[in-house]
Amino acid sequence: MAIVQVSKITHRKGLSEDLPQLAGAELGWAVDDRKLYIGNGTLAEGAPAVGNTEILTEYSDLLAMASGYTYKGAAGGYIVQTGDTTSSPTQRTIQSKLDDFASIQDFGAVGDGVTDDTYAINRAFYQLFCRDTNEVVRRSIYFPAGVYKVTDTILIPPYARIFGEGADSTIIRLDTTDYSSSVYVARTCDNLLQTDANIGSNGAIVPKNIEISSLSFEAADVGNIFLVQLAQQMHFDSVNFTGSLVQANLSGSGEDIAGVHFDSSVATITNQITFDKCKFTGLTYGIQTNEKVQGVTVSNSKFDTLYRGVYLGDTPVNGGPQGVRILHNLFDNIAYEGIVFGDIELNVSAYNIFLDVATNFQGGEQTPVASIIDITGANNVSLGDMFERGEAYNITTPRVSFSTTNGGFALDNAQRYRFGSYVRNQGKQSTLSTQNSATEIFAVSTSEMTAFTVEYQFKDTDTSNYRSGSLTIAAMDTDDSTGSLTYTDDYVENTESGLTLTVVQAGSSVSVKYTLPTGSSSVSGTFYYSVTNFS
């Protein structure tokens, strides 16, 4: 179209909020936001709309002006219908699309391991989760791979959802000159950034609905890693809690640092906290608390290079932990106990694997320095836990130890179960052949037990002859110096078998032996038995 009129172009300038309707081709400069506009002209002149049009400059928000994004999902060979009809697709600005989630680097964090990212991270959390209680402002925060150095505790508020590139790729590392007991790499807070006794005061929202995944929390020196304080419904997935300690630092509890501590109040009990596919390493304790927490689950995780693995209720506060479930984990290189349930109740250890635990790093089959699972309180259970420690040390230093007063239930290595101090070994069997002299069936050490009962059944190989009995051995001394061994064999049988059971002691070894004379009605058979004792 030909230009039919050339007019003198006029200019205006002022604040953006004072920009008037410009005449056709008139320019207007907003001095405060440094943006340039031109008047559209009138409809009579052919303008499609009355108004002002922004002329693009380096200060224009291009993403906000781009309104052409439509989800297509064309991988299936067709265009997804996003609107009411195929001809009216839903459109969004590029800005709104990119704001679906936030990167921590959008708030100034660098992640180079040198720059102090403390304030950038805390600023991001405050802006997205605390500044406004309106749900629509909340966004997941993505931590690209890198080491995010922090010099003070990161505060994680309600509704935070944080994810990284993987536990070995995204690391939040505390590097400070102050490693006091109150300093953590990260801790929960309320939406007013209040901690400790102030959480929830002034109308604040307590920590809840928090999700953290695919990253590591790490201390460059001797410092605690994470404090879960007055929190509800919190989930850790594929998170590492990494301290700086090595085996040489872990012969005792002197450093007293933990991967996770908990804190509760009488009014607000920390509850429904889940750890899945996590790792705890280089610490005095993987997880430690005396506080009353409820419904904590630790599953599919690894505890490695620690003084103790999970240490709960040593001096319980307000009843201590309840409903803690430790399931399907691997414990290795733990100097002392893998799991301790103190004077607390309603907690479970199940289907965990324990390798080098409670040998002070000497190897899982070496002389133990403690039980692997130590349970003091009533109503706690160890079920299906498996141990590298063999039978040679299991009685003198039980793999699972219970209080003699409160007791509990355990089934360990599928070989024995315990009800408090009552211990019953799995059923075993031995083939007995015709013997005129006493022949050993099995032996125990007086260091393992000083009295026991053998429940048995003998079945003739060739006939349907049975004998069922109970062999009770008592009053053994430890080295046979007093000759105090006594035993009784109480049995019934449907046909005389000729089987005779005797018990003899030589030093600290007690042997159960049998004779089955030639010419007896039974020539051979199978001896099924189980040993029961009190520990």
Quick check: 347 pLDDT over 60? yes
Answer yes or no: is 379 within a domain.
Answer: no
Answer yes or no: is 505 within a domain.
Answer: yes
Answer yes or no: is 457 within a domain.
Answer: yes
Percentage with pLDDT > 90 across the chain: 56
- The span from the first CA to the last CA of the chain, in angstroms, equals 103
- Angle (nearest 5°) at CA 239 between 236 and 241: 110
Domain boundary among 26, 42, 65: 65
Q: Which of 175, 196, 197, 195 is nearest to 185 (CA)?
A: 175
Answer yes or no: is 23 within a domain.
Answer: yes
Quick check: 456 pLDDT over 50? yes
Question: What is the value of pTM for the model shown?
Answer: 0.75
Convert the pLDDT of each residue in 230-240 to its tens digit: 999 999 999 99
Answer yes or no: is 31 within a domain.
Answer: yes
Of residues 516 and 326, the one with the higher pLDDT is 326
- pLDDT for position 105: 96
pLDDT (average), residues 428-432? 87
Give me the CATH number covering residue 511: 2.60.40.1680
Answer yes or no: is 93 within a domain.
Answer: no
- pLDDT for position 484: 83
The pair phi, psi for residue 361, each rounded to 5°, is 65, 30
Q: Show the domain range for 434.
A: 427-534
Q: Which of 117, 202, 185, 191 is nearest to 160 (CA)?
A: 191
Report the range of poorest mean pLDDT among 323-327, 335-339, 380-384. Answer: 380-384
| Residues in Cβ contact with 261 at an 8 Å cutoff, skipping those fewer than 6 apart | 184, 224, 226, 227, 228, 288, 289
Convert the pLDDT of each residue in 137-160 to its tens digit: 888 999 999 999 999 999 999 999
- Angle (nearest 5°) at CA 250 between 260 and 376: 65
Answer yes or no: is 500 within a domain.
Answer: yes
Answer yes or no: is 368 within a domain.
Answer: no
Report the range of poorest mean pLDDT among 80-89, 196-205, 402-411. Answer: 402-411
Convert the pLDDT of each residue in 23-63 to its tens digit: 888 899 998 888 899 988 888 888 888 888 888 887 777 66
Q: Which of 189, 125, 114, 179 is nearest to 152 (CA)?
A: 179
Quick check: 405 pLDDT over 70? no
Sheet order of strands, 27-30 included: 11-14, 27-30, 35-39, 52-55
- Write down the H helix ranges in 36-75: 62-65
Quick check: 475 pLDDT over 90? no
User: How many structural domains comprise the chain?
Assistant: 2
Domain boundary among 27, 50, 65: 65
- pLDDT for position 1: 41
